[in-house]
Each structure stands twice: as structure tokens, then as C-alpha cells.
Structure 1
Amino acid sequence: MLEMLYAFGTSFIACFAFCFILNVRDRILFFAPLGGALCWVVYEFLLPFAPMMVCYFSATVALSIYAELLARLLKTPVTSFLLIGLLPLVPGGGIYYTMEYALSGEFTAFLSKLLETISIAGCLALGVLVVSTVVRFGRLVKKHAKKDCSHLPPA
């Protein structure tokens, strides 16, 4: 439990600091780092129970749902929350070691780390894509259902 609280706090602080680099202001300054902390805690919680890629995907889905909900509540773009919130999951170390292995000529380690890094990035993109698609599809269905039922008398 203490480890989860530590993970939550450190990821919140890292995302909060990143908000200043991106010039984030107002209410988003608190809620965007909160999404990053939520995302990292979901990842850490699932890590002992599921494969690493499933953890990345699940954490991204949780963050995307959070971002979609808060974007509607605060009337701001979803991207504001996603950009800050995905920061803890970005495979920066993987990118670094991929380049290190490439430059040192360790091609087996290079290919292995490259595939892992690309897989992580793909999981992040897929998680955002799935939630975004479901939300847009839901809006479309709601819009057409309202349009199709407009000629009916009220019940």
C-alpha cells in the first residue's frame, strides 16, 4: 500500500512539473497530473498479475476514460489530459537503450529492445484509440437516435 502511495505521489509530481513546461494553466494544472498518477497506479497495480503490454494498454484505457470524462466536465480538449497523463508510461528508457545497443553494435539486444519499445508505444496508441472510438461512436448513435425519434409524440 505504501508503495502504491509513493508511486502515485512521484508520478503526480513528475506530471505536475511537466505542466509548467507545456504552460498548462487553471483547473487543468491539478487534474492533468492526477490523470498521470492514476495511470501509473493502474500500471503498477496490474504488473504482478498481467503481462507488461496488457498493463500498458489497461493503464492507457483508464487514463483515456479519465481524460474523456474530465474534458466534458471542464470543457477542455481531451489532448490536454492525455499529453500530461501519458508521461509516466512513455518508454523513454526503452528508446535510450535501443539507441545505445544500436550504436554499440549489439544487434540482438537492439532488435529486442526496439520491438519492446515499439510494442509499448503501440499499446499506448491503441488504448487511446479504443476509448476515443467508443466515445465518438456513442455520440454518433445518440445523435442519430435523437434525430430518428424527433417525429414521435412524447410518451
Structure 2
Amino acid sequence: MFNRQRIEPQPGQESVWDYPRPPRLEDTNKHIQIIFNDIAIADTHQAKRVLETSHPPVYYIPPCDILIEHLVLMPHSSWCEWKGRAAYYTVLAGEKQEQNAAWYYPAPTTEFADIKDYVAFYPHLMDACYVDGEKVQPQPGDFYGGWVTSDIIGPFKGGAGTWGW
């Protein structure tokens, strides 16, 4: 059985067990970068992050800070009880592509209206994702898109044995 015991954060760290449910949306001025096939396809200081109990933050990037020509809209969609229906992009650069590697909300719920058309990326499908120069680790599993950095403490939902949380 996976241990879901909250790890006590040190100064300067956040515990995902202190994040709210339902999730909260907040602005961040941290420097967010996404690299795919040696191209910085996203670079911003204007991201928003979604914080939800047991999940590392998911960063949403404004379209103006993304090289949109590397995103191809896909027919795939999913539903979030908090944010609404998500649409997906395949990320494409040169001969390299990752299908359904990024998503956005074209018509989010009222509470998440500020992320309309902002794009989130699965870090495990990109070459590298950075928060203030630190390379992130993907949230365990391949369903959620959280970004784990040294200032975020778990344990995190998503890995084997955590689906029942």
C-alpha cells in the first residue's frame, strides 16, 4: 500500500496536502519554460497554476508566450469536474511529435475563466520543463500533468496504489 502520510514541508516548501479541494487558480510570475526537440516552445513569466489537494501544480501558459505553430489541435477531449471540457494539442517540432501532449479549456467554468485558452503541457512528454531554471519532474503516472519541483512536497496522487485516494 502506498503511503499517503503528509510529508512536513521545510521552510520555502509547499505540501500538496495543504492545497484545496476544489482546486484553486492563482497567478505566478515564476519563469516557466518548455523545451521540445531543442526548441523553446513556451517561455513566460505570466503563467497561472492550479493547486489541488494531493497534486503538484499544473502550469497554464498564455498563448502569446507559446510558439503556437508547434501545436496541432486534436479531436480528443476530456472532462474535468472543476474546469469543464478540455481540448488537446499534439506538439510537433521537426520530425518529432507527441500526440495529446498539451491541453486547454476553450470555455472553462466561471471559477477558472482566467485560464481560457491558456495551455498546459504534460512534462513527461516534453524534453524538459523548467520552473525558475529548475528542471521539473513529472507527476507520477501518465494521467495527471503536475510539475514537481524541489519546493513541492508530497506524496503525490498518480502513481501505482494512489487511485483510491
Is the TM value for this pair above 0.5?
Answer: no
More strand by percentage: 2
More helix by percentage: 1
TM-score normalised by structure 2 residue count: 0.25
Who wins on radius of gyration, i.e. which is larger?
Answer: 1
